[in-house]
Structure 1
Amino acid sequence: MSQSPPLRHPCPPGACDCDRERLLQEPDADLRILRLTRQEEKRLLERLENLQSLEDLEHMQRRMFELLGLRVHIAPGASEVRSMRGIAIHLEPLPGLCRKTRQAIPAAIRRGLERNPEIAYRLLDAHDLLGGA
């Protein structure tokens, strides 16, 4: 008898717009995001806050997609970048993704970029915003 991995506990009624219950009722739904329990979310956020390099960030983006089906896009914002707030971090809509998690992931990435600004500089350079400076 195989045991399925634990699923995230439901949010309090009216507190979230994740459509968890609807997702669970669909027979062929991708339930990977529901495997992100609160404990696993804390580990993910801690890992994102302690990024070591741009390659590390890109690796985390790939792993979040592989394990959770979550796509995170990180690029310089449309206007000039004067601080970490100028870097756009966008999560693609995903049924089952909790509202708080949708806010916590970009915040953790920003904290990681603030702790290690070299990553932000490499990100800007990868988009040719520093012009090879």
Structure 2
Amino acid sequence: MADLPFPIRKECPPGACVCQRDDLLDKPDADLTILRLTKEEEKRLCERIEAIETYEELLRVSAKLQQQLGIVLTIEPGDNEVRTVMGLTIELAEKKGLCRKTREAIPAAIRRCMKRKPEIIYALLNSRDLFGL
């Protein structure tokens, strides 16, 4: 592993994560941008997500996650009716180097944001076609 020009996420304890961080670092041509999300940066990102005020802002943050880190965020109504924020499916797509804790922290931050601002849930549901047309 060569010295990198930017700080990267510290490795997780053995057996605690399945992010395959070391495999990613061993490949000379691998895209290491996901490793730029250190624990400190993850904390700042979650704080930023919790402070989101509108659905449009949530969409912008989601686009930035994909653009800057390669993280694909999916937020959809659950299979059953949505009465609360827990009825939503919030997932990060599988990506080598994406820590298990990050996979849990970002959706949790989004849920906290939506509990604080339920109008974001309404806008999300309104953006979906009721009849799937």
Per the normalisation by structure 1, the TM-score is 0.92
Q: Partner of 2:24 in structure 1?
A: 23
Structure 1 residue 67, shift from structure 2 partner: 1.0
Q: Secondary structure at the match of 2:5?
A: coil
Mark the runs of 5 or more structure 1 residues left unpaired by the alignment.
none
Deviation digits for residues 16-38 of structure 1 (CA, Å, limit 9, x no counterpart): 11100000011221111100011
Residue identity in the other structure for 1:59 = R
Residue identity in the other structure for 2:16 = A
Structure 1 residue 40, shift from structure 2 partner: 0.5
Mark the runs of 5 or more structure 2 residues left unpaired by the alignment.
none
Q: Partner of 1:71 in structure 2?
A: 72
Partner Cα separation in structure 2 for residue 125 and residue 84 of structure 1:
15
Q: Partner of 1:86 in structure 2?
A: 87
Question: Map of 1:46-125 to 2, 5 A cutoff?
Answer: 46-125=47-126
Question: Identity of counterpart residues, as a percentage?
Answer: 53
Residue identity in the other structure for 1:98 = C
Partner Cα separation in structure 2 for residue 20 and residue 14 of structure 1:
12
Residue identity in the other structure for 1:102 = R
Q: Partner of 1:7 in structure 2?
A: 8
Deviation digits for residues 29-85 of structure 1 (CA, Å, limit 9, x no counterpart): 111110001111000000111111001000000000111110001111121111101
Q: Secondary structure at the match of 1:73?
A: strand
Q: Partner of 1:39 in structure 2?
A: 40
Structure 1 residue 5, shift from structure 2 partner: 1.0
Per the normalisation by structure 2, the TM-score is 0.92
Structure 1 runs of 4+ aligned residues shifted over 2 Å read none
